[in-house]
Amino acid sequence: MAEIRFDGRVAIVTGAGGGLGRAHALLLASRGAKVVVNDLGGAFDGTGKGTAMADKVVEEIRAAGGEAVPNYDGVDTWEGGQNIVKTAVDAFGKVDILINNAGILRDKSFMKMEEEDIDKVFAVHLKGGFNVTKAAFPIMRENNYGRIVMTTSNTGLYGNFGQANYGAAKLGLVGFMHTLKLEGARYNILVNTIAPIAGTRMTATVMPPDMVEKLKPEYVSPIVAYMCSEECTDSGIIFTAGAGYFSRAVLVEGPGVVLNAQKGFTIEDIRDRIGDIKKLEGAQHFNQSNEEIARIVSALGQ
Ligand code: NAI
């Protein structure tokens, strides 16, 4: 089988100055992609900024014979999103691949969470995904080619104490993907999501050193690069990856029950059937909301 390559492709990786983003950028560049290495260059909580992080990764790529340019804008502003994409267009003429990876943490129990902790995390993760994608999408549409990757988290999918802001923003990106996959399909713009687990500066504080060693960011990047390749024909998939483990996560809906609306039903009817309502045997995944509505209509007719 032929090697998967990205020659002639232009990729933007946000938050690529370290951790997972750096590993994604290095891998894409090593396979021929021209890469915009975006990073605000601040601390893991979103404070501060600088040029050193993005510059260092650009140097690494160039030293290995690849092509890259840095960008230091924050994804959390509209102008930042526009500028990141402008950097790609000015340097390389287009954008084919966008990996929305930039992220920060402001972990606190919900009781202690301040408004700024919520706003800042939503701005970087969720609005950040919108800001950069909004600027890149028209170019991809024009070129009839695009590969977009969102970065979610098992916190968003399943929950984690102290990460209400982060989990909500991260699952928001999954909702964003589900609509974008439909709107992009006609233009060969595929949108998928990675739920990574990796030892990075973001997780080093909560993981023991031997676990950080086992969870190298480089172990996540191959599936992200696959999602960015021409060989990927999927759209709307959540892939999980870490330490060599790869899987798919989905939202499913159980077969449910139908109560007779003509006869009417009460809170007690719900209580009496709650076990059946919650059952997941025979659960189904829907590719879009219309499919769920069609299933309800057909269940009512039975
Ligand atoms: P990291 O802290 O090494 O990387 C995040 C990068 O984003 C940093 O280099 C940072 O400077 C940059 N950044 C922060 N705010 C920015 C902004 N406004 N604009 C541009 N760049 C900005 O952490 P890591 O672990 O590599 O995280 C990458 C992504 O993966 C994040 O979205 C994170 O939420 C997600 N993730 C990571 C997991 C893990 O186990 N490491 C688990 C689940 C999700």
The model's pLDDT over 105-124, given as tens digits with 9 standing for 90+, comes to 999 999 999 999 999 999 99
By 3-state DSSP, what share of the chain in percent is helix, strand and coil, each rounded to 5? 45, 15, 40
Do 45 and 190 belong together in one domain?
yes
Burial 124-147 (b: 16+ CB within 10 A, else e): bbbbbbbbbbebbbebbbeeebbb
Residue 186 covered by a domain: yes
The confidence score (pLDDT) of residue 205 equals 77
* Average pLDDT across the chain, whole number: 97
Measured from the CB, is residue 46 less than 6 Å from ligand 1?
Answer: yes
| Cα 3–chain centre separation | 25
Residue 287 covered by a domain: yes
Q: What is the distance in A from the centroid of ligand 1 to the CA of 252?
A: 28
Question: Does residue 252 carry a pLDDT above 90?
Answer: yes
Whether the CB-CB separation of 129 and 100 falls below 8 Å is answered with yes
Do 70 and 149 belong together in one domain?
yes
C-alpha to C-alpha distance for 162 and 154, rounded to whole angstroms:
13
Question: Does residue 302 carry a pLDDT above 80?
Answer: no
Question: Does residue 207 carry a pLDDT above 90?
Answer: no
Question: Does residue 204 carry a pLDDT above 90?
Answer: no
Residue 43: give the domain boundaries. 10-249
C-alpha to C-alpha distance for 131 and 228, rounded to whole angstroms:
19
| Number of structural domains the chain divides into | 2
Q: What is the distance in A from the centroid of ligand 1 to the CA of 202?
A: 7
Measured from the CB, is residue 121 less than 6 Å from ligand 1?
Answer: no
Ligand 1 nearest atom to the CA of residue 76, by list position: 18
- Catalytic positions, please? 166
Do 162 and 278 belong together in one domain?
no
CATH classification at residue 201? 3.40.50.720
How confident is the model over 136-183, as pLDDT tens digits?
999 999 999 999 999 999 999 999 999 999 999 999 999 999 999 999
Last residue of one domain, picked from the residues 232, 249, 266: 249
What band does 73 get if pLDDT is binned at 50, 70 and 90? very high
Ligand 1 nearest atom to the CA of residue 43, by list position: 11
Residue 1 covered by a domain: no
Do 184 and 166 belong together in one domain?
yes
